[in-house]
Chain A
Amino acid sequence: MDTAATPHSNYLTDGYGLKSWLLTRDHKRIGLLYLLSVSAFFVLGAVFAGLIRLELMTPAGDLVESDVYNKIFTMHGVIMVFFFLIPAIPAVLGNFLLPIMIGAKDLAFPRLNLLSWYIYTVGGVFTLWALVNGGVDTGWTFYTPYSSAFSNSNVALVVVGIFINGFSSILTGLNFIVTVHKMRAPGMTWFRMPLFVWAHYATALIFVLGTPVIAITLVMVAAERLLHLGIFDPKLGGDPVLFQHLFWFYSHPAVYIMILPAMGVMSELVAAFSRKRIFGYEFVAFSSLAIAVVGFLVWGHHMFVSSQSVYAAMAFSLLSYLVAIPSAIKVFNWAATLFKGSISFEAPMIYVFGFIGLFLIGGLTGLFLAALAVDVHVTDTYFVVAHFHYIMVGGTIMMYLGGIHYWWPKIFGKLYHQGMARVSAVVIFIGFNLTFFPQFIVGYLGMPRRYHAYPPEFQLWNILSSAGAVILAIGYAMPTFYLIYSLVKGKPAPANPWGAKGLEWETSSPPPTHNFEAAPVVTEPPYNYAK
């Protein structure tokens, strides 16, 4: 039983120099390569967010021209969705932890894993090239015929970048699925796996089934722009709404790609910091699968005002209500786990409480939007913007940070300053709510999204929102400092600083290259905390 950091070599010390990192096959090092990349893209996406909030402080469109503003919110969306939110938890935490949590030495295809990161990087380069070349102004949703025929911006470059990036997702998903099926340690049955693994398995299904559809859709847009093969061109009889069907067939499940891993982190944190087995483990596991599956059946709720048939709209509305059920089941189960648990308020747990409240609001406002009659009024307003930011920022990013804080000692073998971490978490929570709650109000009052100017009566809410964004930015910046500081001056972490259950806590911090000194044999149920 390890207590202090051992002098044995670990995956961080096993080979120095750029080549040992850039040509690594170790899933743990690849996770760290992703950590660097997604962090860089997050900062870039956040800069664009800052510009948006800066412009929106005044009702007049006085900071930038409208077409420049269009480019700003487009790049914000493209970078945040495709280059941060989709890969963040799976490619950083999933890559690092999934093999360890099931007792494997690596993912099934380590070289494909490295290739995934390079593909992600190449996709990112294309997108940055488009940015430097003047950006794209279509919105991250690339609706045709504007994107395919009329926009004068770098659409082809960006869609190529996203297309390439899609392969990164696909290979990661493929890797996860095969690993879970074929590489579990002896005794690690499906129902002994941590819920983090179930969540990533479900996410991987979406990667594999959904990503190819947006890939081909973007190919068609590029073909129309570059080769005059006008599949969505109304002049030839093409249907722009067909683009929307194909686009949202992926992009709705994509939001479940963004939230499922966060829910997986939630389960781990709730169990660890209430020192209790997750209530209704099987329900939570099956809910992950249900979200992945039913999530493919609701895409038309993004198209209620698109001229889609009203009968299809009704069907999609009903299905959208159904997809909320497994998410609600999870929230109930986490709450039941907390009940009579032995709760401690380390930084990760603060993120847990943040998530519960914010995901609840985000999820419930999703139901508002799923109601056809309500959606007609609030679609394309800031109400929608607030809804998805509550889930993606209040949900996913909260759990990304929560997970980083929980597993940081394991990943780097260093402890960070708890007090500062707790303060940052609270600052983030306050900043987040101040930024996005006013957006529900102003959206409901009718302020449209994607406009750089608005009627003056909305200014108060916009100022509150921009002020909140400043606080949020400070909150996000703080961990950068104390976490990096911990790498240099932090106390060495023991193997199990939180006293949590799970195979990752039974190996040293940081783990050895092959994850375990001796191959584990599993005999316990998951979250086997003493009563």
Chain B
Amino acid sequence: MSGAHATQHPRLQHHFDNLDQQFEASALGMWLFLVTEILFFGGLFTAYMIYRLAYPQAFAEASHELDVVLGGVNTAVLISSSLTMAMAVWAAQMGKRSSQLLFLGLTILLGLAFLGVKAVEYAAKFEHHLVPGPDFRFEGARDPVHAQLFFSLYFVMTGLHALHMVIGIGLMAVLFVMAARGRFTKAYHTPVEVSGLYWHFVDIVWIFLFPLLYLIDRHGPVH
């Protein structure tokens, strides 16, 4: 067993027996972490569900204050970034360095675009006094009191999501540097696959946030 040490793959950690075992362990580890993330966001979705059922009018009115176009654009941006992420994994599996850099770079850019749009949206909320707290004002609404619950959830849910995006972009940046150094080959590209899982998960959270926050009763009378 120890004789094989000298000629092992340099990325094989000593407590694993082969790269397959190491990859499977890493992937399973990331999947378990994503399960914790499901439950983590899940608490917020629970609060959202209860309050939306309790105060449907307030939630609808508050939802109309969100910009569907910006939200829709951001959804398209994230879906595109999932595509580029999947392509980055493909490039890693093929050992194609320049493709890895291209797709990781695109993923980072799309992620930054998402955050840029979010910053614009947040700025608008502050301007329109829709941030819960002493400054909150929701003129003309029929249920302004409970609308604050919507906005509290909006900020915590999208804020938490944005934080996860920042971490994801950070991960992508690290991967970019590693890819530039030629670290990802056909034999070893675990970090790309595993980070990809994380990235797709963050996309999935947004896939739910978008309709639940932006599209409540959009057919109804415009506030």
Contacts and interface: CB of A to CB of B under 8 A. Distances in A.
Contact between A and B in the complex (any CB pair below 8 Å): yes
Nearest to B48: A231
Interface string B18-34: 00010011001100110
Contacts of A182: 21, 24-25, 28
B146 interface: yes
Contacts of B50: 239, 242
A216 B44 CA distance: 7
A209 B36 CA distance: 6
A245 B13 CA distance: 42
Interface stretch (A66-74, A75-83, A153-161, A217-225): A217-225
Interface stretch (A90-98, A101-109, A419-427): A101-109
B43 A217 contact: yes
A514 B17 CA distance: 13
B128 to A, nearest CB: 16
B146 A237 contact: yes
Interface stretch (A170-178, A319-327, A523-531): A170-178
A104 B21 CA distance: 13
Nearest to B134: A228
A212 interface: yes
A398 to B, nearest CB: 31
Contact of A178 (B25, B40, B42, B132): B25
- Which residue, of A104, A211, A237, has the highest number of chain B Cβ atoms within 10 A? A237
Contact of B133 (A170, A177, A209, A228): A228
A212 B40 contact: yes
A230 interface: yes
A223 B152 contact: yes
Give chain B's interface residue range (CB within 8 Å of chain A). 35 or more
Contacts of A229: 132-133, 152, 155-156
A522 interface: no
Given A229-B152, A237-B145, A238-B149, A181 B36 contact: no
Interface string A204-216: 0000111111011
Contacts of A219: 156, 160
B19 to A, nearest CB: 13
Nearest to B54: A237
B4 to A, nearest CB: 12
Contacts of A132: none
Nearest to B38: A212
Contacts of B139: none
A236 B36 contact: no
A61 interface: no
B149 A237 contact: yes
A183 B133 CA distance: 51
Contact of B14 (A105, A228, A236): A105
A220 B42 CA distance: 13
A213 B28 contact: no
B132 A230 contact: yes
Contacts of B145: 235-237
A174 B32 contact: yes
B119 interface: no
A361 interface: no
Nearest to A171: B33
Contacts of A40: none
Given A109-B29, A236-B145, A230 B152 contact: yes
Contacts of A212: 36-40, 42-43
Given A174-B33, A228-B133, A216 B149 contact: no
B79 interface: no
- Which residue, of B43, B46, B146, B155, has the highest number of chain A Cβ atoms within 10 A? B43
B1 interface: yes
Contacts of B38: 212
A227 interface: yes
Nearest to B135: A228
Given A216-B44, A231-B156, 17 more contacts: A109-B25, A177-B28, A178-B28, A182-B25, A183-B25, A209-B35, A212-B37, A212-B38, A213-B40, A217-B43, A227-B133, A230-B149, A230-B152, A237-B51, A237-B146, A238-B149, A245-B46
21 contacts: A105-B14, A106-B15, A108-B15, A175-B29, A177-B28, A183-B21, A208-B36, A209-B36, A212-B39, A212-B42, A213-B42, A216-B39, A216-B43, A219-B156, A227-B155, A228-B133, A228-B134, A236-B149, A237-B146, A237-B149, A239-B54
Interface of B: 1, 13-16, 21, 24-25, 28-29, 32-33, 35-44, 46-47, 50-51, 54-55, 58, 132-134, 145-146, 148-149, 152-153, 155-156, 160
In order of increasing CB-CB distance, the 4 nearest A-B pairs are A228-B133, A216-B43, A212-B40, A212-B39
